[in-house]
Amino acid sequence: MNNVTVFILSGLSQNKSIEILCFVLFLFCYIAIWVGNLLIMISITCMTPKLMTDLLAERKTISYSNCMTQLFTTHLFGGIEVFILTGMAYDRYVAICKPLHYTVIMSRQRCHAIVTACCTGALIHSASQSLLTVFLPFCGPNEIDHYFCDVYPLLKLACTDTYRIGLLVIVNSGLIALMTFVILMVSYFLILYTIRAYPAESRTKALSTCSSHVTVVVLFFVPILFIYIRPATTFPEDKVFALFYTIIAPMFNPLIYTLRNMEMKNAMRKMWCHNLFLEGK
């Protein structure tokens, strides 16, 4: 039985001027995210984030069910991002270190298997993370010191001992993120070790291919490790660090997934030129 049916979010800041400033800043970030992903959707074949609405709202509330749904979806898509970045690192490793075998190793069936494994792993992670939280009793208070529903702020509000659950969260989130980050860094170390004997032009091309990916990996994983690798405690800085993997890193996704890909850029250029030519007629 839960006495709490609604949670109150403290928001990103208690200062209204800062919240309005953040709204304007994040509005441009969300526009960049939206436009970039819209280009991808159009080339290959409306969302109002709660953070945006809360920045302008006087009272920031979210229902219990919506809070649990937000927790599940946040970790689901975050898990997919983590595992996709790992799959992309493997793809870059094969392309640079074993270029002659690339088409054989990274076949269409292998790519489908990697995507399926990423989604399955993220679903297992998100489901287990949600199950650790959904059965907790919340008797009050009901104010979450964050701008979205996450595990540690919810554990802080639960009216029961959450020490063991906190350890499970570290294993389920922190250690997975740490192992994935180590695997990513090892893959790029192997890439750097391999290209040291390449000609300067080939090294530049290889580094250009990986640089944007490494940037997003750092922006995404460092804040996650700061938040989830420690015991179940919360700090005011968590909100700022969370911005990196909820807003900043996703804004770069169109760049690393398609806009740095020459084949994708050529396909987009041909499509837009073809449309302009038809409109000119």
Nearest to 134 by CA among 81, 66, 195, 226: 66
Nearest to 74 by CA among 149, 7, 3: 149
Nearest to 153 by CA among 51, 54, 9: 9
Q: Which fold has domain 63-252?
A: Rhopdopsin 7-helix transmembrane proteins (1.20.1070)
What does the alpha-carbon distance between residue 198 and residue 186 come to, in Å, rounded to a whole number? 19
What are 215's two structure tokens? 């940037």
- The DSSP H or E segment spanning 90 is helix 64-97
Cis preceding linkage at 254, omega within 30: no
What are 171's two structure tokens? 């294993």
Beta-carbon count within 10 A of 249 CB: 23
Reported in sequence order, the residue ranges of the chain that DSSP labels E, i.e. its strands, are 6-9, 61-63, 143-144
- Per-residue confidence in pLDDT tens, the chain, 281 aa: 677 888 888 887 788 888 888 888 888 888 888 877 776 666 555 465 667 677 777 788 888 998 998 899 889 888 988 898 888 888 888 888 888 888 888 888 888 899 999 999 999 999 999 998 988 898 878 888 888 888 999 998 998 888 889 899 998 888 889 999 998 888 888 888 888 877 877 777 777 777 777 888 888 898 899 888 888 788 888 888 888 888 887 777 776 666 556 666 666 677 666 655 555 55
Q: Where are the domains of the chain?
A: 63-252
Beta-carbon count within 10 A of 218 CB: 15
Instruction: Give strand pairing partners of 63.
Output: 6
